[in-house]
Structure 1
């Protein structure tokens, strides 16, 4: 079984996870998406997939775009050491 078949988001409107900005009403949308992720049994797999494939948009594995970008930068820095 693919991990996506177990994902809590599979029954949630996809737009929930892809806000236009991170400000105003969209920040509440991001919070709603992260709440779905918090209750998901495959959050870690989802986050790993999003990082491995460098997903540029949306909330994946409980992380928004900025959080994933920061983590990827930290990984690159650590790899250079």
Structure 2
């Protein structure tokens, strides 16, 4: 038997700047350093839920995309710095 799970976006998504952004922007597959990735980061720059988004990505260990103005390289650098502080 197959079980379907309803996925609901967190409540903070309704306040995200990307919610009304151009649908042509690919937030998940934007190549590092590309014009698309820079565009995503620019939209994030003034987003009212940027910090919540970034924390969500770090908590979920997101490997792809731009979250809270950070791409995967930014998030990995932050994780590495955190590990260095904890050591």
TM-score, normalized by length of structure 1?
0.82
Aligned counterparts of 1:4 and 1:68: Cα–Cα separation in 2: 20
Q: How many residues align?
A: 77
Following TM superposition, by how much is the alpha carbon of 1:52 offset from its aligned partner in structure 2, in angstroms? 1.1
Q: Which runs of 5+ in 2 are unaligned?
A: 1-9
CA distance in 1, matches of 2:62, 2:24: 15
Task: Give 1:39 deviation, angstroms.
Answer: 1.9
List structure 1 runs of 4+ shifted beyond 3 angstroms. Answer: none
Q: TM-score, normalised by structure 2?
A: 0.77
CA gap 1:48/1:76 in 2 versus in 1, 3 angstroms: same
Which residue matches 1:10? 19
Larger gyration radius, structure 1 or structure 2: 2
